[in-house]
Amino acid sequence: MTFTLRELAKMSGGELHGDPDQEISGAAALAEATADEIAFYSDPRYGSLLRKTRAAAVFVPLNFSDTISAAQIRVANPSKAFEQVVLKFAPNPISFAAGVHSSAIVDPSVKLGNRVSIQPHAVIEAAVSIGDDTVVGAGSYIGHESVIGASCVIYPNATIRERTRIGARVIIHSGAVIGADGFGFEFVENRHEKIPQLGIVQIDDDVEIGANTTIDRARFGRTWIQEGVKIDNLVQVAHNVVIGRHSIIAAQTGISGSTRVGEHVTIAGQVGIVGHVTIGDGTVLAAQSGVSKDVPGGVWFGYPAVPLPEAKRQVAWVHRLGKLFDRVKAIEKKLGL
């Protein structure tokens, strides 16, 4: 499949600077693109790659003014325009036929909607309900009395424990475990005794949960992942945590029990959050931050996390300690100390 630059410019609503009849047969990153492919540029940090690229054409911002050898299509959002083109060149998505594979184990009490696909060796326990057009991948487990909404994708080898509630259009990637027991123990008579974890996990519409992420069931009530939340791979969400609408959480983050994360929060990679704190709406927690108290909003960084301007000052002070130490030694020498 090929497109001319004229067609791509029309498709993206962009302004073409180059040969409109130039044919494009693929899309690639600036560093990998070849002479018949299109790339995109939106971040000044990649200016050197832009100047070196072999791409025939590049999506660039509307205000782009540099001179480059490649043709340009100027658009409001180069990344989004590039994504649209990638989808045109991509192979058809994998689809699964409706029905229950002969090797799957589905309890007779299970309620399946229209066009549900249950893949090989999946196990669906009693009193489960699954909505229209949902796919349950090979080897996945759906526990007793769980409810899964319409148009969900449960990838192979995911585990969804009993009584979990999942909305519509939810994506759960391989290895994720939803509804494992929360980590709750009391020290009684010189030993740790397990506290029963009797609650559920509720996942609202349009949530995506990455591979090998774990979301624990509540001690009582619910652990609640609200609408539109996106969770990366290898994230731990403990019991009774609430994550507000349209928040996003990057890999290797750990959120301790009963923490409340507000709406539109961004949590970068390897952030650690103690239990029973509140993260305000719109907060940004920078990578590897450690949160030990309530955060009212804004951008926070460091361990323990502090507002970003303060964190930058602290980093600058640390970098100056060597020179300060040398100055103190010199003063002490002059004083004969």
CA angle 120, 125, 130 (to 5 degrees): 75
Residue 264 designated active-site: no
CB 81 within 8 A of CB 40: yes
Residue of 121, 239, 246, 264 with catalytic role: 239
Residues 64 and 136: their CA atoms lie apart, in Å, by 46
Residue-wise pLDDT tens for the chain (337 aa)? 899 999 999 999 999 999 999 999 999 999 999 999 999 999 999 999 999 999 999 999 999 988 899 999 999 999 999 999 999 998 888 899 999 999 999 999 999 999 999 999 999 999 999 999 999 999 999 999 999 999 999 999 999 999 999 999 999 999 999 999 999 999 999 999 999 999 999 999 999 999 999 999 999 999 999 999 999 999 999 999 999 999 999 999 999 999 999 999 999 999 999 999 999 999 999 999 999 999 999 999 999 999 999 988 888 888 888 888 888 888 888 888 7
Structure tokens at 161: 């424990």
In the chain, the domains with their CATH numbers are 3-89 (3.40.1390.10), 99-308 (2.160.10.10)
